[in-house]
Structure 1
Amino acid sequence: MGLYVVQVVGGQERHAADLIRKVAGASVEDSFIPELEVMKKIHGEWVYKREKLFTGYVFVKTHEPAVVKKALMALPMFARMIGTGNDAFVPLSREEVAWLNAHTDARTHVLEMSEGIIEGDEVLITSGPLRGQEANIVKIDRHKRLAWMDVHMFGRTKTIRVGLEIVTKR
């Protein structure tokens, strides 16, 4: 069973995931959009929100990628399976799948908020899925409670936004 990535128009991910499940039927075990948990200030109060981790992509777990590709042609929207272009479908690598499984909740596919502290010039993640990933953090915005980190996904290094609350700075 491989985990494949389908590129869709940004903003249509949820609709595309539902249609893929419906059109491809039993050949698709799961079709989902990984999300991240962030905090937003709304009316002066911090609330948890979910946003897309990879805008414009739907993840499809299947053992029949050719059936899924054929089903994509029946969709009333742009949707293409990421591959080499010559009808060769490339699933996510073991490392990419391991990263997703280690950092997102298996049931909800959400990368939850992490907490950390800053000691001098170093960031130390104290809790959450980013614990132990300090070396991959590129930038932190303490006021928006966000961090940017480098991950290897889709066969290349990609900088993604993640939720990180810095509780103290020493």
Structure 2
Amino acid sequence: MIWYLLHCQKQNEWKVLEGLRSKLSKTALKTAFVFTYDRMRRFEGEWHLERRLMFPDYVFLETGDERALTKELMHEEMSLLHVKENEKMFLTSLCGEAHHLGMSKGIIQNGATCITEGPLRGMEERISRIDRHKRLARLATPGRMASGSILAGLEIIEKS
């Protein structure tokens, strides 16, 4: 299966997603989806779990028939970007079939980050920045995706 990235207007990702699913044939489009991640956000004096879009302004398309997909989208004046195999494998290993990245927890020992639970476990070398206040980590991605990084929820529970 081949993945493509389709740019859409901000705040319209879900509308575009449903439109593509209803307009395109099963031959052209196996599935359309967005990637999401969990993060913690503090409001009203408490921490709340919040689901956010990992790639705002983008919808992913999966097809087995490249020609059919481009032919059916030609009339929509939409441009597609091919998702490379290493990018696809990275996102699948991180988010799974649900296309969702859950929260992770970790500790910092002697300046080194160690993820103790969650999907970021074993991916410590990809973490380029941690914002402990916002409970977020910035991860380096392969290729050209999202300017080379994505956000992921990470709660550091101990620092020594």
Which TM-score applies when normalising by structure 1?
0.85
| Alignment partner, residue 87 of structure 1 | none
Q: Distance between the aligned counterparts of 2:156 and 2:124, measured in 1?
A: 13
Counterpart of 1:141 (choices 111, 131, 144) is 131
Which TM-score applies when normalising by structure 2?
0.90
SS in 2 for 1:10: coil
Identity rate of aligned residues, in percent?
A: 31
1:21 aligns with 2:21: yes
Counterpart of 2:110 (choices 120, 123, 133) is 120
The residue identity in structure 1 corresponding to 2:153 is: G
| Alignment partner, residue 95 of structure 2 | 104
Contiguous gaps of at least 5 residues in structure 1: 83-89
**CA shift digits 1:50-81 (9 cap, x unpaired):** 11111111111111233323433454xx7321
The residue identity in structure 1 corresponding to 2:22 is: K
Contiguous gaps of at least 5 residues in structure 2: none
- CA shift for structure 1 position 36: 0.7
SS in 1 for 2:114: strand
How large is the Cα RMSD of the aligned pairs? 1.9
SS in 1 for 2:134: coil
Q: Distance between the aligned counterparts of 2:66 and 2:3, measured in 1?
A: 9
Asked if structure 1 preserves the Cα contact closer than 8 Å seen for 2:106 and 2:158, the reply is yes
Map 1:34-73 onto structure 2 (within 5 A): 34-73=35-74
Q: Distance between the aligned counterparts of 1:130 and 1:164, measured in 2?
A: 8
The number of residues matched between the two structures is 159
